[in-house]
Each structure stands twice: as C-alpha cells, then as structure tokens.
C-alpha cells in the first residue's frame, strides 16, 4: 500500500514537472475483447515525448491484454540505471500507469522495479508489481531486457508477481534523456 501511494506521488510529480497531462491523441484499448483479438494501430514512440505500452496478464482479476499510448512521464538512461513510464491520471478504467525502473545499469539488469496500475487513481487501485531491487525481500521474479534504439528505448519485462500473475510487458519511449 505504501509503495502504491509513493508511486502515485512520483507519477503526479513527474506529470507536473513535465507539464504534460492527458493527451487527446493518446489511446488505450484492451487488445482483445470477448476472446477475439482486435486490430490495434502500432504507434511508435518518439517525437515530442511519447510512451507506448503493451501488457499481457495471465491469472488474477486483471487477466487480459492492454495497450496504451500517451505522453511519456519518464524516459531516461544512465550508467547506474534506466527508467520508462507511461501514465495518464485522467484514466478511469484499463491501464493507467506502466512504470519500469532499473536499479543498475546494463541491458539486462537483475535489480528492477515494475508496476502497473489499473483504473482511476485511488488508494484501493488494482496494482501488479515485481520488485527485485533487494533480492532478500523480492516481490515476485522476472527479467528485463533493454533495446536501445538511439532516439528511443524499449524495455521488455517478463515475470511473475508474488501473487502468481504472469506478466509480459513492453514499454517504448522517447526521446531519451541520457545522463
């Protein structure tokens, strides 16, 4: 619960600092409805600052596929870590935040934090997370792989939450803040 509140505070601060809120051109739709796949556009990250997210969840109440595109809240790389965040505080259903933060540099960090929020921003919001930042108290397990494309970065995350939900996700964002 404390972690979710902290992440909401970070999200609000990032959106306020960037001067970006909900975008009229942003989109989100479940990738499948009624068991039938839907055709969805393949937007690309970059330009003035966008994040393109895809999430597949197997198991639990959030099971399904989700796609979301909108203004980036964070997209950075440094020798000590990297981060990528999609967030839309105006969302009332579906994927409202997908955040990845590595706790070390490199293309396949062992230490990372991954969180997904669903629906409207509330204290009881549905949340899935994997944290391997402290291996002695890890919440879930998984892998993260970076594809650095220069103008954009793309993280691919695969793992299992401590509650047993299986997650496959990608987040691509740009332009990249390099430090």
pLDDT at 44: 54
Q: What is the pLDDT of residue 12?
A: 37
Residue ranges per structural domain of the chain: 2-18+66-178
Q: Can you give the pLDDT at residue 113?
A: 98
Q: Tell me, what's the pLDDT at 23?
A: 33
| pLDDT 10s digits, 79-110 | 999 999 999 999 999 999 999 999 999 999 99
| Cβ neighbours for 122, distance < 8 A, ≥ 6 positions apart | none
Distance CA 68, CA 27 (A): 6
Given a cut of 70, the residues of the chain with pLDDT beneath it are 1-48
Contact 128/22 with Cβ under 8 angstroms?
A: no
Residue-level pLDDT at 179: 86
Q: Say if pTM beats, i.e. exceeds, 0.85.
A: no
């Amino acid at each position: 619960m404390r972690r979710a509140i902290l992440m909401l505070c970070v999200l609000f601060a990032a959106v306020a600092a960037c001067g970006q809120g909900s975008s009229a051109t942003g989109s989100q739709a479940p990738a499948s409805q009624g068991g039938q796949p839907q055709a969805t556009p393949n937007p690309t990250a970059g330009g003035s600052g966008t994040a393109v997210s895809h999430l597949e969840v197997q198991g639990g109440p959030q099971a399904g596929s989700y796609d979301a595109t909108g203004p980036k809240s964070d997209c950075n790389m440094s020798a000590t870590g990297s981060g990528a965040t999609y967030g839309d505080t105006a969302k009332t259903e579906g994927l409202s935040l997908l955040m990845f933060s590595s706790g070390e540099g490199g293309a396949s960090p062992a230490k990372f934090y991954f969180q997904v929020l669903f629906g409207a921003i509330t204290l009881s919001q549905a949340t899935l997370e994997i944290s391997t930042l402290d291996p002695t108290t890890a919440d879930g397990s998984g892998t993260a792989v970076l594809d650095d494309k220069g103008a954009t970065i793309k993280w691919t995350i695969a793992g299992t939450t401590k509650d047993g939900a299986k997650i496959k996700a990608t987040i691509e964002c740009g332009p990249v803040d390099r430090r």
